[in-house]
Each structure stands twice: as structure tokens, then as C-alpha cells.
Amino acid sequence: MIEKLNKTHPLTIQFLIVLTTGLLFVPFLGGVHLFDWDEINFAEAAREMIVTGDYLTVQINFQPFWEKPPLFIWMQVLSMKLFGINEFAARFPNALCGIVTLLVLFSIGRKTKNNLFGLLWVLAYAGSVLPFFYFKSGIIDPWFNLFIFLGVYFLMLFTNSEDKNKIRNVVFSAAFAGLAILTKGPVGFLLIALTGAVFLAWEKFKLKVRMKDVLIYFLVLALVGGSWFILQILNGHFNTVKEFIVYQVRLFQTQDAGHGGFFGYHFVVLLFGVFPSSILAMKAFQKENSKDVFYRLLKKWMIILFWVVLILFSIVKTKIVHYSSLAYFPISFLAAAFIYGAWEKKFRWSKWMSALTIFIASLIALPVIALQFVEKYKNIIIEKDLIKDAFAVENLKAEANWTGFEFLPGVLFLIAMILIFSLIKKNNPLKRAVFLWGTTLLFTLSVILVFVPRIEKYSQNALIEFFKSKAGQDIYLKNLYFKSYATYFYGETQPPENPNFYDTDWLLTGDIDKDVCFVTKIHRAHNLKKYEDVKEIGRKNGFVFFQREAD
């Protein structure tokens, strides 16, 4: 069967990958509101480009937004032109990225070994929790990571003595590094450069690099990665470029409010988030006797990339889950390498791997199983005053329409994990791995479809529904004492005609020219009592709504 698979024409397999991943990633993209902050942030920037017709400047609340370059936002603009300004359009670019990413992994895996290895890499990536989840989201990282990975890959090809296409590899590596910069910023090039520097040190700087190659690399990098920044300067927006650079530096030096964490934060995130590939990858770190020069070279680069990502973002003060998401590529490669090696009898499936897999699966499944029971007993929890946060208590009061069967995905996931290790012997690693990845994929999909919409009911639904009810009205919308981009996207705000709109004191006490609706959280609502003409008009699930009428 494996021999037949390896003889199958690659186009046949690629077509099946496109068909399968399209069915997995595209449906139900618009089934739940965009989540604050990141999803709504990028979608709002795209909406404002469409509203203003200014496709060069990234704006939020119709003011320059220097935190992100525009490439991903341009993708969302194109999607919104096709599908309208909605959740589906905001997430569609990442569904497309999922298809492209898995095609890339298959192609590289096939070149590394054969069709089998390529498919194992595809399964290792798509069959892990967060990698699959991100392709159903509207955040910037899937495309950003793909560009960095391709930048690293072509740099690796440049160091391969058997590959004679040096100039091509230099150009492609620099071009993808430039696209990474245009997607999220200079950290894209930094990760590629650090990975290359560590490889040079590993090789004791014996690699011969011509000055011509260096010049071509930085010329292409500057033309691609610097194009938007040059255009900004030429259009008189030098301050936007300066603020962008200052923001990038601050991310490394300080901790963003609410985004701190301990040094080993990303180790835990990757262990659980890239389950089960994170466990399978562990044994592939050990030394492996292989005569395959290309495979050994790729493995070395993947190990270096993994440690660069893990160490760099462990040092960075700001801790956000998706910061280490580039590590999904090397982890899934190493997981595929272990399974392929175990199939070739080069690696052995240890008992600790099975035990750790079941243990981690239990820790993932138990909250999913228990979540609906929190809803069942929430009145008792509230009455006994077990939660001291007033906003969280009001969140819990939301109606999420539980059916009583939501525990099933967690239970079935856990049972399936136990059965996999009970019924499939360790001398059949291919079958074990395929069932592990397939089970995790179905579990992740079920969580996205069943739990995410209900969790959203507790967290932000009341806020978004209020803003949607005000969309299209000739009023001002303002959230006070908390940050949210939902105000603009779901309130469908337009460029303000009165510049005083950006002055909160004017909105609260000034001579306003149209009504203002304010939103705040319940524990901050008392701050508005001192304003006599600011009247409460409602409250729901921790959010309090006020209105001030124009004379």
C-alpha cells in the first residue's frame, strides 16, 4: 500500500489535499462574531480602507495605525470586495492560507523523502490543535508564518551544496522575508536572520557566501519588504513609519498590558497547542543515522528554527499565544520524521510517549467535558459568591443555549485516545499516528463548531449586538475605560466630520452635534454618574450602555 502511495502522481494527492482542506477550512467561517482584539482589529483596518478608499494607510478609527503593515489587510480587502464586509470575508484569507500551507508542506516533504513523508507532514500540521484552529481564524499569523518558513526554506536550499540554483534561492528567500515584513513587521526578517546565523555558527562559519549573493539578498529584501515604508515616506507619512519602528522595539523591551507570562510560557503553549505532534516530535530531536543529505540538512534547519522561536519569544516580555506559532512548522516536521523513522525501524515508540499523550489528552478533554456543567450550576456559583469579579459574574449570566450533549466531543476524544493505544500496537506507528492526528482534527473541529459560539455568548456577544443595533445611525459610538475594536467594525462607524469626536471630554460634557452612545463595563459604570445628561439606557452580561442626547 505504501509503495502504491509513493508511486501515485503528486498532482492526484495535491488535488485531494485541496479538496479535503477546502471542506475543512472554508465552511462555517462566518458562524461566529469576530473576536476582540486581533480578529476585529485587522478586519476593521480592511473595512476602513474600503470606506475611505485609502489603501496605502492602515487606519483604526480613521486614524493612522502604526502597529501592522498592510499586506494581510489587503488580502482581507480583496476578500471583502468578493464576499462583503463580514466575518466570512475576514477569515477567508486564512482558510486559503491553510490550503496553500499544506500544499507547500506536501511538496517539500515529497522532495525530502517521498509522497508518504509529505502526507505525514501534512497530517502532523493539520492534525494538531492550534495549527488547525488558526486556519479558521482571522488573525495575521498564518500568512506571516508561511512567509517566514519559506524564507528559511530557500535559505536552507542556498546552503545545500547539491543545489546549484544559488541566485534563485537567494531571491526567493529574500522575497519571502520581504513579504513577512509587509505582513507583520521586521521580526519576520529577524527570525530568518537568527536562524541563518545559528546555522552558520553550527557549521563553524565554513559556508562560502559570495558578496554578490549578499547584495542581491538585501536588494530584493529592500525592494519587497521596504516598498510600503518607502511609499509612506514619499506620501509624507514619515511619522507613521517612525511610530511603527518604536512600537516594534517596545514589544521586545516591555510587557504589553494584560499580555505577560512566565519564562516557560511558550513551552507550555506548544506542548498543549501542537498536541499530539508536540509529543511525537520529542524523540526526533535525538541523533539519527541517515545517509540522506537533504533530509539531514532540512532537519538541522528545523531544529534550529524551533529553538530560535522558543528562546526568542521566551525572552520577549510580551507573551501572546500566537507569538510562537512559527514553531508549528518544525514541530510538525519532527513529528513526521519520527513516525517515518519508526516505520523504517530507526525509532522506537516508547511507553512514556503513550502515557504522556493520554495524560495531555485528558487535560485537554476535561475542561471541554466540564464546561457545560458550569452553565448548569452557574446560579449556585453566583449565589455562593465564588467569583469576586463583578464583570465575570455578569458574563456568566448570559444565555448560551446549551443542549446538554456538549460534553460528548470531550468524552469521545478521550475514549478514542485510549482505544488507539489499546488496539493499535506500537509496531504499527503509521496507523497509530494517522488515528491520533485524525481524532485530534475532528475534536478540534467539533470544539470550533460547538463551543466557540457558546463561549462568545459569555465574552462579547452583548457588546457586539449593541453596536450592531446602532449600525447605520447618525450617532457617535464610544467605549469607555476598556479597549475594543468592535465599536468600529460592528457599529459601522464612518469618518467623523467633527474633529472633536476624538476628545472624550467633549463627548461627555461638550456641545455635541449628535447623540452619543457610550459603553463601559459594570465595575466602571459608576464613573459616569457624575455626568447628569449621560443616561443609562440598558445593561447586559457585564456591559452597561449610556446615551447622551444632543441639544
* Residues 241-273 pLDDT 10s: 777 777 766 666 665 545 567 788 999 999 999
pLDDT at 335 over 60: yes
Phi–psi pair at 303, nearest 5 degrees: -65, -40
Q: Give the DSSP letter string of 298-328.
A: HHHHHHHHHHHHHHHHHHSS---GGGGGGGH
CB atoms closer than 10 angstroms to residue 265: 17
- 536 membership: H or E segment, kind and range: strand 534-540
The answer to pTM > 0.85 is: yes
Q: List 64's β-bridge partners, or say none.
A: 59
Please, are residues 501 and 427 in contact by the beta-carbon 8 Å criterion? no
C-alpha separations of 225 from 144, 248, 539 in Å: 13, 15, 47
Pair 305, 330: CB distance under 8 Å: yes
In degrees and rounded to multiples of 5, residue 349 shows phi and psi of -80, 110
* Per-residue burial over 167-192, b = 16 or more CB atoms within 10 Å of its CB, e = otherwise: eebbbbbbbbbbbbbbbbbbbbbbbb
> In this predicted model, what pLDDT tens digit does every residue of 192-226 receive, in sequence order?
999 999 999 998 888 888 899 999 999 999 999 98
Task: Write down the mean pLDDT value for the chain.
Answer: 92
pLDDT in tens, 496-509: 989 899 999 999 99
pLDDT at residue 251, rounded to an integer: 61
Q: What is the pLDDT of residue 259?
A: 58
The whole-angstrom separation of Cα 325 and Cα 428 is 30
DSSP E strand boundaries for 2-154: 59-60, 63-64
Q: Which residue bears the cell 464583570?
A: 391
Specify the pLDDT at position 257: 46
Mean pLDDT calculated for residue range 136-151: 97
Q: Identify the pLDDT of residue 250.
A: 67
Report pLDDT for 176: 98
What's the pLDDT tens digit per position in 412-467? Answer: 999 999 999 999 998 899 999 999 999 999 999 999 999 999 999 999 999 999 99
Q: What are phi and psi of 520, to 5 degrees?
A: -145, 175
